Amino acid sequence: MLTLNQKKILKLLAINCRFTNKDIAKSVGISEDAVAYQIEKLIVREKLSSFVANFVINKFGFYHHHYLIRVKDLDKLNVESLKEIKEIFFINTSTGNYDIQLIIAHSTDEELIRVKEQIDTILRDNISESVMLKFFKQYKFTNMTPIYDVAVKIPANRKNPLYKLNKENWYVEDVDCSQIPSLSLGEKQTIKQLIKNARATYSEIGKNTSQSYETVRQQIIKFAQKGYIGNFGAFPNYEKYGYFGVFFLMNVAELDDKKILAYVATKKNIFYAAKLIGKYNLILYYVAEKPTELHRESYELRQLFKEKVLGLEMLTFEKTAKSVQFPMVLLD
């Protein structure tokens, strides 16, 4: 059972994991040493959440597709080989109509085809059915979980540009992929360190990459100001909190962006929602404590769109096998 102060710390880290211990302590009303102890206890030892830097991959000239596959034989599902493909930045297994979901980053259609062929070769004759869905627009992404959605003062620091990313929910508007940034070797090394630990200090990153404190600081500030990073946070391990995850795939006629944005903003148990192109044009990720909650959610979705619902699938998360939130192929 989490104490109120622990919930406040977890909430602040979810909103922005680069808040300093000093600012977290001031907001919660405890000492800096107590904050450091709780972060060590909750994140490092108990692994209730993990620090993440969520990059806006469109800003790097990459699009992405969700590739969902139903296999013939689960025992022959070779996830480890799929994890080695650098264009794949997210893999989760699930139960339902599809057994595995891969999110593929690519800069061209030809690259997408090449990666798909590589995936299909690894799975060989084990694919029963598959669907490819192109990401179009993000409606919601949050690291928050209902269990620690408590009242707490959000730190403010005008001198620290990273504090401008203080958002419980951030979503990406349409992003132009035409202007691709040129990354230096040092910037690539810094990105690799942020992927490992988004809360790593400038000094720690500098030591691990043989760069100066100030060089690393300027690099990360640049990433934030240019919009390359949408969020620094702490993503919850939902099972540790007694929750399980599901996602809905929907095909809705005449999808209304304003209606979706308004709906997901009010739903604390939706942590991701996006508009897609393909067989399904809407994906929503939920967390729940009881299966009965999902019946209600399904009913509400049907009521929201009524006769415009042309298709709906619900899949239950089983395991996240890979999540790096960045096209690692760009760092070669």
Q: Is the dihedral of CA 319, 111, 180, 203 positive or negative?
A: positive
What value does the mean pLDDT take over residues 107-125? 95
* Higher per-residue pLDDT: 198 or 172: 198
What value does the mean pLDDT take over residues 146-162? 92
Q: Quote the mean pLDDT of the chain.
A: 93
Q: Let me know if residue 211 belongs to a domain.
A: yes
What value does the mean pLDDT take over residues 159-174? 82
- What confidence category does residue 178 fall into, taking pLDDT thresholds of 50, 70 and 90? low
**Residue 198 lies in domain:** 182-225
What value does the mean pLDDT take over residues 262-270? 92
Q: Let me know if residue 13 belongs to a domain.
A: no
Q: Please state whether 267 falls in left (phi above 0), alpha (psi between -120 and 50) or beta.
A: beta
- Maximum alpha-carbon separation in the chain: 59
Strands (E), 172-297: 229-236, 244-252, 270-277, 282-288
Number of domains in the chain: 1
Q: Please tell me the predicted confidence (pLDDT) of residue 13.
A: 97
Res. 330: pLDDT tops 90: no
- What confidence category does residue 177 fall into, taking pLDDT thresholds of 50, 70 and 90? low
Q: Let me know if residue 246 belongs to a domain.
A: no
- What confidence category does residue 172 fall into, taking pLDDT thresholds of 50, 70 and 90? low
Determine phi and psi for 73, rounding to 5 degrees: -135, 110
Distance of alpha carbon 198 from alpha carbon 323, whole angstroms: 13
Distance of alpha carbon 104 from alpha carbon 111, whole angstroms: 10
Res. 216: pLDDT tops 70: yes
Distance of alpha carbon 99 from alpha carbon 143, whole angstroms: 25
> Bridge partners of 64?
105
Q: Let me know if residue 217 belongs to a domain.
A: yes
What value does the mean pLDDT take over residues 80-97? 96
- What confidence category does residue 173 fall into, taking pLDDT thresholds of 50, 70 and 90? low
Helix (H) or strand (E) holding 321: strand 309-323
Q: Please tell me the predicted confidence (pLDDT) of residue 180.
A: 74
Q: Let me know if residue 119 belongs to a domain.
A: no
Q: Let me know if residue 242 belongs to a domain.
A: no
Q: Please tell me the predicted confidence (pLDDT) of residue 169.
A: 84
- What confidence category does residue 222 fall into, taking pLDDT thresholds of 50, 70 and 90? very high
CATH number at 188 reads: 1.10.10.10
- What confidence category does residue 294 fall into, taking pLDDT thresholds of 50, 70 and 90? confident
Pairing of strands 100-106, 63-71: antiparallel
Q: Considering the entire predicted model, what is its pTM?
A: 0.92
- What confidence category does residue 175 fall into, taking pLDDT thresholds of 50, 70 and 90? low
Res. 275: pLDDT tops 80: yes
Q: Let me know if residue 144 belongs to a domain.
A: no
Q: Let me know if residue 188 belongs to a domain.
A: yes
Distance of alpha carbon 41 from alpha carbon 35, whole angstroms: 10
Res. 131: pLDDT tops 90: yes
- What confidence category does residue 84 fall into, taking pLDDT thresholds of 50, 70 and 90? very high
Q: Please tell me the predicted confidence (pLDDT) of residue 171.
A: 67
